[in-house]
Amino acid sequence: MLQLPDIGVLGPYTYLATEVLWGSVALALLWYADAFRAAARTVAVLYPFAYVWDWYTLEVGVFAIPLRTGVELLGIPIEEHVFMLVVPAMVVGAHETLGLVLDGPDGTEGGTTRGHEER
């Protein structure tokens, strides 16, 4: 059987550390694709809905987060706020990067050049 690493060794910082790790990947993708504005727009639209849903599911006990710092902001763990920034940024970064790699900056197939057109 596959032995998964024990990331719980980071204790209460486990969730935050994984968010920082994946947030770094998201930032790298956004930088490569020059897609920070697109990500900011996406986060701005999705964040309020994600916040309300997250608050509600935590409030009614749908899930619990044992490996967290215990720091809360506006009724939810700080790690959840970071999560709600990282996930849409990662999706936009991956989408825009794949578009550049697969289609090229000018929309032609097979491109691998970094694009900087206005989005």
The number of residues in the chain equals 119
Q: What is the pTM of this model?
A: 0.81
Task: Give the residue ranges of DSSP H helices in 1-119.
Answer: 14-33, 36-59, 78-103
d(CA 70, CA 106): 47
Which DSSP letter does residue 107 get? S
Ranges in the chain, pLDDT < 70:
107-119
Nearest to 83 by CA among 36, 34, 2, 15: 15
